[in-house]
A and B are shown apart, each in its own frame.
Chain A
Amino acid sequence: MSQLDLARLQFAMTSIYHFLFVPVTIGLGFLTALLQTAWHRTGLADHLRLTRFFGTLLLINVAVGVVTGLVQEFQFGMDWSAYSRTVGDVFGAPLAMEGLAAFFLESTFLGLWVFGWDRLPKRVHLATIWAVALGGALSAAFIMAANSWMQHPVGYTVNATTGRPQLNDVWKLFTSPVFLRGYLHVLLASVVTGAVVMLAVSAWQLRKGRSPLVFHASARLSLLVLVPTLLVAMLVGSELGVTEGKYQPMKIAGAEAQWTTCQPCSFSLFQVGGGNDDRTPTKIIEIPHLLSLLATNHWNGKVLGLDQVQSQYQAQFGQGNYVPNIFIQYWAMRVMAYLAVVVLLVGLWGLWLLLRKRLSSARAFQWAATWLVILPFLMNTAGWLLTESGRQPWIVQGIQLTRNGVSPSITTTTVAISILVFLLLYAALAVVEIVLMARYARRDPEPAPTPEAPLPSLTY
């Protein structure tokens, strides 16, 4: 493999890994804040026990999320120095703002929340967990603004002397339709992830029946959050598809492996074969008009085929292959969408049981909801593959090709060493994380506190 391949592999690997933890942090942070708010309002000991129970799970997860985020920050300079040098003027600004506006907030208030149980007035302590949740959401906003700029560059001019993009309107970064929809989609997907984690843990606990009343409350909360959030996330996601299709037609055509322009266009449920070298896969169960609807919001909308966009790009940017990896595009889209439907169905099942007051005794549902925990992670990963792989061969759509963004001064060996290091380190962290999460998720919640005794910090 070349240095470019390795640098891409490293970025993909570390980003996917990092993004297993980010959605749990954001989602579970928000849900923990809701639980603590419930405790604050009701004063019920069970709400406090749930807050501290899920707070501990949140912390185990945050630890890995934070440290893997560090790798992302340095990697642009290490592997992608040509990219950083070219677009730092625009791309760096949201990153610096993230640090100042969000990361300080999240980290500082997390410390206050964990250690502040017996030091801060109740109301102030409640505010600290909301500050943590807000910090996480803000952090995602800045990162998504930077990422959306790579998908759809706006708010810049090209400097005549250096030939590099320069920021000239920062608001455009935060009002770009790709950003607005992409950010909302990521935020909602994160809440869905957090809710599924909470649901899975609660369902497991209900099945064991050790603290049924406590975990019935968290199962109820997670279901009430999960279903509507997922529905909105699906709607926003499809809007995002239309928006991205407008600016990155390759991405959407690739998601259907659509080589020729069509109108109206049908959507295939499965295909056998297919890929960049196989233009005639066997499509199975084609639903007429659905692709038109998904890609353009119109019943009879026209979707440009890969071949048309390719020749259009060749005319615009010169010779080259501008088609992304079709196999990834086609399947990433389906994995994300199909699994979302599964999660939705299980969520609706849970709501129905909740209405009939049978949640605590529904063994089959409890079993299904426990295993459901795997799906959001697959969905999130597939979603990012769809977005990022669909941007290729561009590192910034229309501005810089990925192969031109890589660091000129580093060797294949250097990247190989660091891939190996991170692979080993991340594998070890994954094992510890899974062991600890599973152990703490299966634990009994702390006993109800005695009225006037101070609450200790969470375990440290």
Chain B
Amino acid sequence: MALATFWFILTAVLWTGFFVLEGFDLGVGLLHTVVARDEPGRRAAINTIGPLWDGNEVWLIVAVAAMFAAFPGWYATSFSAYYLVTVLVLIGLIVRGVSFEFRGKLASSRWRHLWDTTLTAGSLLVPFFLGVFLGGMLHGIPIGQDQEFSGTFADLFSGYAVFTGLTLVLLCLLHGATFLALRTTGALRGRARLLARRIAPVTALAVLAFLPWTHSTAGKGVLPSIMQLIAVLLVLAAAWLVTTGHEGWAFAATTVTIATTVLSVFVDLYPRLLVSSTNPAYDITVGNAASGNYALKVMSVVAIVLVPVVLAYQGWTYHVFRRRVSAEQFADETAGAPE
């Protein structure tokens, strides 16, 4: 296998890993004020992802760094084309990241309300605009012969790209609700289950529409691939499993759904990286955007050695924090602020 293809697969896996892992903590960010109306409940909801979200986010950082290192042309064209979209994603990541840390630092309900709002808003901006970005890769944007973007901001918002964003937001919501049901107790768990049950049918419909649209956008007809069939079946299974109280299995099902949905975009994209809507000859591809063989080889060695190590210690983290979190734990605490 050519090294460039290996790096395409690795980049796709990193993006997928990001949505699988950060997907549920984005969902929890979106739902934490819905699932719990009082402070102890919200603290509990946030604490289910407290130890995990930062490590999850690194998957995106590494995915983008992999694009830069392995396909400089892809990285350069995409982020200059998606300039303002990227600014929106960054705003989301920034306000979200500091919300976790700042929220509990002052004992004032206005203060907490502010960071609850930024946490929710950030958790919406990130999956939606990253979805627009991913969908646009496949749908195509105006790219000229010089591999530079030649369109306007509006060109980035094709119907398919916007729908990719919506689908990802819905997937994050379902994934997050299922995760909350899996990781909390008592009333919180009940509400999370109820939320998951309500979100599941909408998400299933979105996935059901998204996959054939993806296929036809890629010019491959509308019949779904096996991977896409799995995505659809499991999103339906997740809805049923969470209702019957099999939260662990439901979470496994949403995990596979989100993974197969994101991966199917990359599968349909290959060997292209960024489609040019101007002329197929100007597509940015694995062939014309890859770094030299030496750079790819060095990074492959690093990745092959380190990825298993990272998976091992991240896996261990999930094991350490496997216990359910209950609202009662936070009932008699103030926000832990000074004085």
A81 touches B80 (CB 8 A): yes
Nearest CB to that of B290 among chain A residues?
Answer: A89
Q: Which of A93, A116, A167 is close to B320, meaning CB atoms less than 8 Å apart?
A: A116
With a cutoff of 8 Å between Cβ atoms, the chain A residues found around residue B149 in the complex are: 409
With a cutoff of 8 Å between Cβ atoms, the chain B residues found around residue A410 in the complex are: 80, 83
Q: Which of B47, B76, B98, B298 is close to A88, meaning CB atoms less than 8 Å apart?
A: B76
B61 touches A459 (CB 8 A): no
- The verdict on A63 contacting chain B, using a C-beta distance below 8 Å, is yes
B298 touches A167 (CB 8 A): yes
A63 and B102 in contact, given A73-B61, A97-B302 (Cβ under 8 angstroms): yes
Nearest CB to that of A71 among chain B residues?
Answer: B90
User: From residue 114 to 141 of chain A, which have CB atoms closer than 8 A to chain B?
Assistant: 114-116, 119-120
B65 touches A96 (CB 8 A): yes
Instruction: Choose among B53, B64, B72, B95 the residue with the greatest number of A CB atoms under 10 Å from its CB.
Output: B72
User: From residue 184 to 222 of chain A, which have CB atoms closer than 8 A to chain B?
Assistant: none
What are the interface flags for B152-177 relative to A under an 8 Å C-beta threshold, 1 for contact and 0 otherwise?
00000000000000000000000000
What are the interface flags for B298-320 relative to A under an 8 Å C-beta threshold, 1 for contact and 0 otherwise?
11001100110010011001001
With a cutoff of 8 Å between Cβ atoms, the chain B residues found around residue A168 in the complex are: 292, 294
Instruction: Choose among A66, A82, A460 the residue with the greatest number of B CB atoms under 10 Å from its CB.
Output: A460
What are the interface flags for A319-349 relative to B under an 8 Å C-beta threshold, 1 for contact and 0 otherwise?
0000000000000000000000000000000
What are the interface flags for B37-54 relative to A under an 8 Å C-beta threshold, 1 for contact and 0 otherwise?
000000100110011111
With a cutoff of 8 Å between Cβ atoms, the chain B residues found around residue A92 in the complex are: 65, 68-70, 72, 75, 291, 295
- The verdict on B81 contacting chain A, using a C-beta distance below 8 Å, is yes
With a cutoff of 8 Å between Cβ atoms, the chain A residues found around residue B50 in the complex are: 111, 114-115, 457, 460
- The verdict on A432 contacting chain B, using a C-beta distance below 8 Å, is yes
B338 touches A63 (CB 8 A): no
A93 touches B295 (CB 8 A): yes
A409 and B150 in contact, given A81-B79, A88-B291, A96-B299 (Cβ under 8 angstroms): yes
Nearest CB to that of B144 among chain A residues?
Answer: A409
- Report the separation of the CA atoms of residues A89 and B3 in the bound assembly, to the nearest whole angstrom: 14
- The verdict on B104 contacting chain A, using a C-beta distance below 8 Å, is yes
With a cutoff of 8 Å between Cβ atoms, the chain A residues found around residue B95 in the complex are: 425
Nearest CB to that of B333 among chain A residues?
Answer: A456
A96 and B66 in contact, given A74-B86, A84-B72 (Cβ under 8 angstroms): yes
- Report the separation of the CA atoms of residues A60 and B73 in the bound assembly, to the nearest whole angstrom: 36
A100 and B100 in contact, given A410-B80, A421-B87 (Cβ under 8 angstroms): no
B62 touches A103 (CB 8 A): yes
What are the interface flags for B188-207 relative to A under an 8 Å C-beta threshold, 1 for contact and 0 otherwise?
00000000000000000000
Q: How far is the CB of A145 from chain B (nearest CB, A)?
A: 13
- The verdict on A272 contacting chain B, using a C-beta distance below 8 Å, is no
User: From residue 71 to 93 of chain A, which have CB atoms closer than 8 A to chain B?
Assistant: 71, 73-74, 76-79, 81-82, 84-93
- Report the separation of the CA atoms of residues A305 and B53 in the bound assembly, to the nearest whole angstrom: 53
Q: Which of A71, A96, A115 is close to B321, meaning CB atoms less than 8 Å apart?
A: A115
- Report the separation of the CA atoms of residues A111 and B58 in the bound assembly, to the nearest whole angstrom: 13
Q: Which of B52, B150, B302, B339 is close to A100, meaning CB atoms less than 8 Å apart?
A: B302
B54 touches A66 (CB 8 A): yes
- The verdict on A453 contacting chain B, using a C-beta distance below 8 Å, is no
A460 touches B64 (CB 8 A): no
- The verdict on B116 contacting chain A, using a C-beta distance below 8 Å, is no
- The verdict on A110 contacting chain B, using a C-beta distance below 8 Å, is yes
B102 touches A436 (CB 8 A): yes
With a cutoff of 8 Å between Cβ atoms, the chain A residues found around residue B291 in the complex are: 88-89, 92-93, 166-167
A90 touches B98 (CB 8 A): no
B321 touches A119 (CB 8 A): yes
- The verdict on B57 contacting chain A, using a C-beta distance below 8 Å, is yes
What are the interface flags for B91-113 relative to A under an 8 Å C-beta threshold, 1 for contact and 0 otherwise?
10111011011111110000000
- The verdict on B332 contacting chain A, using a C-beta distance below 8 Å, is no
With a cutoff of 8 Å between Cβ atoms, the chain B residues found around residue A87 in the complex are: 72
B93 touches A78 (CB 8 A): no
- Report the separation of the CA atoms of residues A92 and B76 in the bound assembly, to the nearest whole angstrom: 11
With a cutoff of 8 Å between Cβ atoms, the chain B residues found around residue A361 in the complex are: none
- The verdict on A449 contacting chain B, using a C-beta distance below 8 Å, is no
B69 touches A77 (CB 8 A): no
A96 touches B69 (CB 8 A): yes
Q: Which of B47, B62, B73 is close to A96, meaning CB atoms less than 8 Å apart?
A: B62
Q: Which of A95, A166, A459 is close to B65, meaning CB atoms less than 8 Å apart?
A: A95
Nearest CB to that of A407 among chain B residues?
Answer: B80
B80 touches A104 (CB 8 A): no
- Report the separation of the CA atoms of residues A103 and B78 in the bound assembly, to the nearest whole angstrom: 23
- Report the separation of the CA atoms of residues A159 and B98 in the bound assembly, to the nearest whole angstrom: 43
- The verdict on A235 contacting chain B, using a C-beta distance below 8 Å, is no
- Report the separation of the CA atoms of residues A21 and B41 in the bound assembly, to the nearest whole angstrom: 32
- The verdict on B219 contacting chain A, using a C-beta distance below 8 Å, is no
A77 touches B52 (CB 8 A): no
B339 touches A443 (CB 8 A): yes
- The verdict on A99 contacting chain B, using a C-beta distance below 8 Å, is yes
A67 touches B148 (CB 8 A): no
A167 touches B294 (CB 8 A): yes
With a cutoff of 8 Å between Cβ atoms, the chain A residues found around residue B338 in the complex are: 439-440, 443-444
With a cutoff of 8 Å between Cβ atoms, the chain B residues found around residue A71 in the complex are: 90, 94
- Report the separation of the CA atoms of residues A89 and B297 in the bound assembly, to the nearest whole angstrom: 12
Nearest CB to that of B303 among chain A residues?
Answer: A100
Nearest CB to that of B313 among chain A residues?
Answer: A108
With a cutoff of 8 Å between Cβ atoms, the chain A residues found around residue B147 in the complex are: 85
With a cutoff of 8 Å between Cβ atoms, the chain B residues found around residue A460 in the complex are: 43, 46-47, 50, 100-101, 103-104, 336
- The verdict on A414 contacting chain B, using a C-beta distance below 8 Å, is yes
A85 touches B294 (CB 8 A): no
A73 and B64 in contact, given A81-B77, A85-B147, A93-B295 (Cβ under 8 angstroms): yes
- The verdict on A351 contacting chain B, using a C-beta distance below 8 Å, is no
User: From residue 122 to 146 of chain B, which have CB atoms closer than 8 A to chain A?
Assistant: 146
Instruction: Pick the 8 closest A-B CB pairs, nearest first.
Output: A88-B72, A77-B79, A92-B69, A63-B101, A99-B62, A459-B336, A111-B51, A108-B55
Q: Can you identify 14 A-B contacts, CB atoms within 8 angstroms?
A: A63-B97, A63-B102, A77-B76, A78-B79, A100-B307, A103-B62, A104-B314, A111-B54, A115-B47, A166-B295, A170-B298, A407-B148, A425-B94, A432-B98
Chain A residues with a Cβ under 8 A of chain B: 59-60, 62-64, 66-68, 70-71, 73-74, 76-79, 81-82, 84-93, 95-101, 103-105, 107-112, 114-116, 119-120, 159, 166-168, 170, 407-410, 414, 417-418, 421, 425, 429, 432, 436, 439-440, 443-444, 457, 459-460
Chain B residues with a Cβ under 8 A of chain A: 43, 46-47, 50-55, 57-58, 61-62, 64-66, 68-73, 75-81, 83-84, 86-87, 90-91, 93-95, 97-98, 100-106, 146-150, 291-292, 294-295, 298-299, 302-303, 306-307, 310, 313-314, 317, 320-321, 335-339
